[in-house]
């Protein structure tokens, strides 16, 4: 039998045996499906990536209001569009290290105040223009502009000056920051010709695929760019198909209409994973499902009320019933053990109806309904999570009214607009980036309106602190400020749960953003 299996794996490596044929022959030899699947995967990888084919992704997180302008990306589909057609200077690898992209090298000064990015030569944009350091400079200037409303605006704070110097792009900071390369790996910072100053939504980048069809809220089709500078990106075409309904998304994967889906609902994950032609991948990371309150808007401008709501949520119940174990309990701060400088000694907030009732009484709230807005697109199970929150809050005498919002337009008309809603964050590679993006007073994505000068000062102090132990102390202090004074209710950190066809090879777990940190169209291939 061993000789037969060896012969079969060689045939797979040579491309002479399909997965279906291999699995059938292995079963006839008495090999279990799990073992056979592993053997086939190993043999397919040994053959190396195979080029060609049409990859279709069924994605939640697309709306009719989406733009190809990287500054505007706030949900999964536009984020994945940018991953297909664009490149940044650097990328965060699965192991947490900095990986060069358009910058072939990164060098920081001894005091971490001056950073030099040496650009690759001969990189071409989809419109035929050759990449220059001026394109990089103007891209960064656009995202630093308050009027751009860029999702990366918060992380651009603290830059004293930037310049294009031949084939180098150089950044000088007001204070040292050892994490600057991680900040500039932000997915909004897609390098565009002339920085996107003329037409930011043109969808022109240096990535492996160029825009062919752009139908926001419906589909986005990309074709292989012939003059792409790198050797990844193996498909002929990649298509993002917007499927916001979870049931329809799952059905599309099962029927083979798409090969990948995001946000598999935990309640169906185990069942879906039993399908012979599919695999469900679950990756723990920094993502968290949240309810956010605007600290500057009544009644949430009262911290006693905010604390009442924080104590009135049953975190363990949420993890059990909503995540079905695909995640962990949150602590009303955006940081967990996935961050290298996380302080695990910080006290965990517990479900406490007595404290919830006490804080609610101290708030002086008149007892009128508190409106919580939610939607299926906020996160998988968000509507059910809101209902659980409503039930537990009622036990403390807090009247929550759930308003279910349509998915289309949720990220433009509800999130960061309405004072109390369900949302999610994918997390960021380092605490500096997470806090700068979401809690810095001047950030456009400060979705809790937490604007505290003392917090801002700590953020910049932490950037300038090169001693990891001291930096850890500062981050712990910032986390407790958000936990006890902010508008974030974070009941749970979620695993990334995604479904993928077994026709694809090359999957690598990545604790960054979803879908292998957006790299599925670059790193996977058809077996």
At 162, the pLDDT band (50, 70, 90 cuts) reads very high
Q: Give the per-residue pLDDT at 77.
A: 98
Q: What pLDDT is stored for residue 13 in this prediction?
A: 64
pLDDT category of residue 324 using cuts at 50, 70 and 90 = very high
Separation of first and last alpha carbons in the chain:
24
Cα 68 to Cα 228: distance, rounded to the nearest angstrom: 19
Taking Cα atoms as reference points, which of 372, 385, 386 lies closest to residue 305?
Answer: 372
Q: Can you tell me the distance from the alpha carbon of 101 to that of 181, in angstroms, rounded to the nearest whole number?
A: 12
Q: How far apart are CA 32 and CA 30, in angstroms?
A: 6
**pLDDT tens, 59-93?**
999 999 999 999 999 999 999 999 999 999 999 99
Which residues, listed in sequence order, are joined to residue 280 by a DSSP beta bridge?
499
- At residue 27, the pLDDT reads 75
pLDDT of residue 418: 98
pLDDT-based confidence at 101, cuts 50/70/90? Answer: very high
Contact 9, 39 (CB under 8 A): yes
pLDDT computed for residue 136 by the predictor = 98
Whether 245 and 62 have beta carbons less than 8 Å apart is answered as: no
- Kindly provide the b/e burial profile for residues 119-137, where b requires at least 16 CB atoms within 10 angstroms of the residue's own CB: bbeebebbeeeebbbebbb
Q: What is the pLDDT of residue 10?
A: 66
| CA 133 – CA 354 distance, rounded (Å) | 59
Averaged pLDDT, 309-322: 97
DSSP-derived letter for residue 427 is -
User: pLDDT tens across 341-399, in order?
Assistant: 999 999 999 999 999 999 999 999 999 999 999 999 999 999 999 999 999 999 999 99
- Which tens digit of pLDDT belongs to each residue from 172-212? 999 999 999 999 999 999 999 999 999 999 999 999 999 99
Task: Calculate the average pLDDT of the chain.
Answer: 94
Alpha-carbon span 362 to 450, nearest angstrom: 21
pLDDT tens digits for range 229-275: 999 999 999 999 999 999 999 999 999 999 999 999 999 999 999 99
Predicted local distance difference test score (pLDDT) of residue 148: 81
Evaluate if residue 321 carries a pLDDT over 70. Answer: yes
Contact, 262 vs 318, CB < 8 A? Answer: no
pLDDT band at 138 (very low <50, low <70, confident <90, very high): very high
Q: Could you tell me how many residues make up the chain?
A: 527
* Stretch 509-517: mean pLDDT: 93
Give the model confidence (pLDDT) of 9-65 as tens digits: 766 665 666 666 777 777 777 777 667 767 776 766 666 799 999 999 999 999 999
pLDDT digits 0-9 by tens, 472-500: 999 999 999 999 999 999 999 999 999 99
Instruction: List pLDDT tens digits, range 208-225.
Output: 999 999 999 999 999 999
Model pLDDT, residue 35: 73
């Amino acid at each position: 039998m061993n000789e037969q299996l060896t012969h079969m794996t060689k045939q797979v490596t040579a491309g002479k045996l399909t997965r279906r044929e291999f699995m059938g022959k292995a079963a006839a030899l008495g090999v279990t499906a799990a073992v056979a699947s592993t053997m086939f995967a190993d043999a397919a990888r040994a053959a190396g990536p195979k080029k060609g084919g049409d990859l279709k992704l069924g994605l939640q997180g697309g709306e009719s209001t989406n733009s190809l302008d990287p500054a505007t990306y706030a949900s999964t589909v536009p984020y994945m569009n940018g991953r297909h057609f664009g490149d940044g200077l650097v990328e965060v690898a699965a192991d947490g290290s900095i990986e060069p992209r358009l910058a072939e090298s990164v060098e920081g000064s001894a005091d971490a105040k001056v950073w030099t990015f040496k650009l690759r030569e001969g990189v071409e944009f989809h419109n035929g223009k050759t990449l220059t350091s001026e394109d990089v400079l103007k891209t960064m200037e656009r995202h630093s502009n308050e009027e751009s409303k860029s999702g990366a605006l918060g992380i651009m704070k603290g830059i004293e000056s930037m310049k294009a110097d031949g084939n180098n792009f150089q950044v000088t900071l007001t204070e040292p920051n050892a994490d600057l390369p991680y900040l500039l790996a932000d997915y909004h910072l897609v390098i565009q010709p002339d920085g996107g100053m003329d037409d930011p939504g043109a969808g022109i980048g240096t990535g492996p695929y160029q825009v062919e069809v752009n139908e926001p809220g419906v589909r986005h089709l990309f074709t292989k760019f012939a003059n792409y500078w790198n050797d990844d990106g193996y498909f002929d075409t990649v298509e993002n198909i917007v499927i916001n309904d979870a049931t329809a998304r799952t059905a599309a994967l099962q029927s083979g209409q798409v090969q990948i889906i995001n946000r598999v609902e935990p309640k169906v994950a185990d069942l879906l994973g039993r399908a012979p032609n599919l695999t469900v991948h679950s990756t723990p990371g920094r993502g968290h499902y949240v309810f956010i309150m605007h600290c500057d808007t009544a009644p949430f401008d009262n911290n006693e009320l905010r604390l009442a709501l924080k104590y009135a949520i049953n975190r363990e119940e949420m993890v059990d019933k909503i995540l079905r174990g695909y995640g962990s309990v949150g602590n009303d701060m955006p940081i967990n053990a996935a961050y290298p400088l996380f302080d695990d000694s910080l006290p965990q907030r517990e479900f406490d109806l007595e404290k919830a009732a006490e804080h609610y009484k101290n708030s002086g709230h008149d007892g009128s309904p508190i409106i919580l807005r939610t939607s299926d697109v906020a996160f998988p199970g968000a509507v059910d999570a809101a209902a659980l929150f409503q039930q537990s809050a009622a036990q403390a005498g807090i009247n929550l009214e759930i308003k279910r919002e349509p998915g289309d337009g949720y990220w433009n008309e509800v999130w960061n607009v309405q004072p109390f809603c369900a949302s999610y964050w994918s997390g960021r590679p380092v605490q500096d980036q997470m806090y700068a993006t979401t809690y810095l007073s001047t950030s456009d994505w400060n979705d809790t309106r937490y604007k505290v000068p003392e917090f801002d000062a700590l953020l910049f102090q932490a950037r300038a602190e090169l001693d990891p132990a001291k930096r850890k102390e500062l981050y712990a202090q910032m986390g407790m400020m958000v936990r006890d004074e902010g508008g974030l209710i974070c009941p749970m950190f979620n695993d990334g749960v995604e479904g993928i066809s077994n026709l694809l090879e090359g999957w690598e777990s990545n604790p960054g953003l979803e879908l292998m940190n957006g790299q599925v169209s670059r790193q996977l291939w058809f077996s």
